[in-house]
Structure 1
């Protein structure tokens, strides 16, 4: 595994300026890679897009649907019995009312639990201080001897979120880069 130092910029121009400064300090062009990192959830890591196969907010939906279908069947059956007695409707009315109540109950139960779960997941993501932000990422294949120089140059160029990672560097790029992983902040040796 290779030692990689990376920093985030708002524009490609700033990242390219940092690349020129790093090359002036002895870092080769093959040891620098500039990529754009998209927002959380937009990395197309699954066949249908997105980062995960399931939406964070939908994890509790089956529980809500189960509770809702039970409650809905009971309410629907009560309505059906009321229609049978009050309107002298056929017996099938009870079954139809129970089925409709179960269906509507499952939908409302799933939706109510989706809303609550989504609020929890949104706050946990916002509070995650080392979550990777979107922007232009410059990654540098570093050696132990030039880490401080690279970090100082990135700081001088006003890079944000300077991080240190261990990864696979191939053909001038961070080959196993995962934009969904939390970053590990890098600091210079005192």
Structure 2
């Protein structure tokens, strides 16, 4: 694991200015990364402990084709039963059966899909609950060592960071590779947090 210090800024311009100040202090480009953190609840993935999964969604659903087959048979039978006494034409009866089968297939598939989407009777459904505490903004992350972490934090503070945090993470190819926006930041206590 690598030691990382990061500061949050409101704009890319402010973050880029902070990066230039870090470079002036001797930090190299491979150890400084800028990226945007979306607002709470708008992240592409959620950690397992911050999301309660709807249990029925984990089970494989029945294919809507089953409902279409049942619906088409029922529709054809119903159409023939209604049409046959009204007309003596074999062609009209076959046409009615075809239209009934088509309409029944659509209705059957729709009903099957709706049944697949509904939770079983009596099952409690839990919805997603986000417990995120990280604010959005542009994060300037710095790969540091124990010897230069204070210098990085002071530089970010002087550059106007709204919040400064520390983390242990995986630094690969010049970026914080395992950054998880749903995890709460670990603030560096000696730096005051400014209001955004």
**Secondary structure in structure 2 of the residue aligned to 1:69:** helix
Deviations 1:65-116 (A, max 9, x none): 3575366446634642443345444146335423432234425654786799
Q: Which residue of 1 aligns with 2:47?
A: none
What's the CA shift for 1:129?
A: 1.1
DSSP-derived class of the 1:90 partner: helix
1:143 aligned residue: 145
In the alignment, which residue of structure 2 is the partner of 1:185? 185
Show structure 2 runs of 5+ residues with no match.
45-56, 120-124, 191-196
C-alpha distance in 2 between matches for 1:16 and 1:152: 16
1:15–1:136 contact (8 Å) kept in structure 2: yes
CA distance in 2, matches of 1:159, 1:145: 23
Superposition TM-score, scaled by structure 2 size: 0.53
Contact residue 43 and residue 181 of structure 2 kept, 8 A: no
Question: 2:35 corresponds to which residue?
Answer: 35
| Equivalent of residue 169 in structure 1, options 156, 172, 193 | 172
Deviations 1:119-176, CA, capped at 9 Å, x for gaps: x99x62x62516895x433221111334455446546623458462411333xx21x6
Which structure 1 segments of 5+ residues have no match?
Answer: 42-57
Alignment size in residue pairs: 164
RMSD between aligned alpha carbons?
A: 4.6
For residue 141 of structure 1, give the secondary structure of its aligned residue in structure 2: strand
* Residues 16, 148 of structure 1: alpha-carbon distance in 2 compared, 3 angstrom cutoff: same
Between Structure 1 and Structure 2, the one with more helix by share is 1
Q: Compare CA radii of gyration and give the structure with the larger one.
A: 2
Mapped pair 1:98 → 2:97: no
CA distance in 2, matches of 1:74, 1:5: 66
TM-score (norm 1): 0.54
Separation (CA, whole Å) in 2 of partners of 1:76 and 1:131: 55
- Contact 1:167 1:177 (C-alpha < 8 Å) held by counterparts: yes
Distance 2:116 2:188 in 1: 46
* Residues 74-93 of structure 1 aligned to structure 2 (within 5 Å): 76-77=75-76, 79-85=78-84, 87-88=86-87, 89-91=92-94, 93=96
